[in-house]
């Protein structure tokens, strides 16, 4: 099995090292990851600047390739230019910090997996619920297990799995929950400061409003010590509103304008 690994914390992050080690036990691993941290870049891709690729070594051995771009750039570059044959699966992570509920939208980790899905390659994004985790190794084992399940069952075309692992000892994990994207969202606050030259600047802060109340929602499941596995896709169409809008007099625009 050919496995392409990426992340958004950058090629030097601990999470990607643990993931690479865990997945080397089940397949041929190629690492292509951002040169610098790319958290919250969402699904950005680099078009107006060229990209450079550099080899990255770890204790004298080739660990992987660093791209001076975004997580989505890394997946494109890995599949199109670095790997000789396309990967069977792409795995992104292990992200330092959870990617549940609305955070999926902002996440570079999830976007790397989604870019693979767009390219028709099954993929998994995996995160652990701490920015300074104690239980990375367990998350690596979960990743290896899920890679094998995806290889066995396949995914829908254009789909990937978003996985969140609680940062607790393995014996406290209650199981793996099949989940949906939660509804928890941010109450944003811009904290205003004054620079030494008297000019205002603003830091984005805020607190998460917890709106998830059952084990079928990713954020709640993880909080209750389940590994949360959410199948996601990139068709953003709201089919329910599509049906409702059939009753709008949407073409009256032209009737009205022609009458003028």
Q: Per CB under 8 A, which of residues 147..176 are in contact with its own copies?
A: 149, 153, 155-156, 159, 162, 173, 175-176
Q: Give residue 59's region: left, alpha or beta (phi > 0; psi -120 to 50).
A: left
| Contact criterion met (CB below 8 Å) for 3 and 27 | yes
Handedness of CA 113, 134, 137, 141 (dihedral sign): negative
Q: Are 123 and 109 in contact, with CB atoms under 8 Å apart?
A: no
Give the contacts of 167 (CB within 8 A, at least 6 positions apart): 128, 129, 130, 133, 134, 135
Task: Identify whether the C-beta of residue 166 lies closer than 8 Å to the C-beta of residue 129.
Answer: yes
Beta bridge pairs of residue 33:
66
Instruction: Determine which residue in the list 105, 131, 134, 169 makes contact with its own copies, applying CB under 8 A.
Output: 105
Q: Which residue lies nearer to its own copies by CB, 236 or 259? A: 236
Q: How many residues bind its own copies (CB under 8 A)?
A: 78
- Asked whether 2 and 87 are in contact (CB, 8 A), the reply is yes
| Smallest distance from its own copies to CB 228, Å | 11
Integer Cα distance of 110 and 40 in angstroms: 10
Residues between 61 and 80 that touch its own copies (CB under 8 A): 72-73, 76-77, 80
Name the segment binding its own copies (CB under 8 A); options: 11-19, 23-31, 88-96, 241-249.
Answer: 241-249
Give yes or no for residue 44 binding its own copies (CB under 8 A): yes
Least Å distance between CB 118 and its own copies? 6
Closest to its own copies by CB, 4 or 232: 232
Please list the residues that pair with 24 across neighbouring strands: none
- The residue from 47, 55, 59, 198 that contacts its own copies (CB under 8 A) is 47
Nearest to 15 by CA among 126, 100, 111: 126
Nearer to its own copies, 18 or 101 (CB): 101
Residue from 57, 84, 248, 259 in contact with its own copies (CB under 8 A): 248
Among 59, 197, 203, 259, binds its own copies (CB under 8 A): 203
Nearer to its own copies, 60 or 153 (CB): 153
By rule CB under 8 A, what string of x and - marks binding of each residue 9-38 to its own copies?
----------------------------x-
């Amino acid at each position: 099995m050919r496995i392409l690994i990426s992340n958004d914390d950058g090629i030097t992050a601990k999470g990607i090292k643990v993931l690479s080690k865990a997945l080397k036990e089940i397949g041929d691993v190629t690492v292509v990851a951002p040169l610098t941290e790319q958290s919250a870049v969402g699904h950005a891709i680099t078009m107006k600047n060229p990209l450079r690729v550099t080899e990255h070594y770890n204790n004298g051995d080739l660990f992987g390739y660093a791209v001076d771009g975004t997580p989505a750039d890394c997946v494109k570059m890995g599949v199109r230019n670095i790997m000789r044959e396309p990967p069977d699966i792409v795995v992104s992570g292990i992200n330092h910090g959870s990617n549940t509920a609305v955070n999926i939208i902002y996440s570079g980790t999830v976007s790397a997996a989604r870019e693979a899905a767009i390219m028709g390659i099954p993929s998994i994004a995996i995160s652990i619920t701490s920015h300074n985790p104690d239980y990375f190794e367990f998350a690596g084992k979960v990743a290896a297990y899920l890679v094998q399940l995806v290889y066995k069952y396949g995914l829908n075309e254009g789909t990937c799995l978003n996985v969140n692992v609680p940062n607790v000892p393995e014996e406290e994990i209650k199981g793996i929950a099949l989940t949906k994207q939660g509804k928890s969202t941010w109450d944003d606050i811009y904290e205003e400061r004054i620079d030494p030259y008297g000019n205002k600047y603003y830091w984005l802060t805020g607190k998460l409003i917890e709106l998830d109340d059952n084990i079928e929602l990713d954020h709640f499941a993880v909080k209750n010590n389940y590994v949360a596995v959410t199948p996601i896709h990139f068709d953003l169409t709201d089919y329910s509103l599509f049906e409702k809008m059939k009753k709008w007099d949407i073409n009256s625009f032209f009737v009205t304008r022609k009458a003028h």
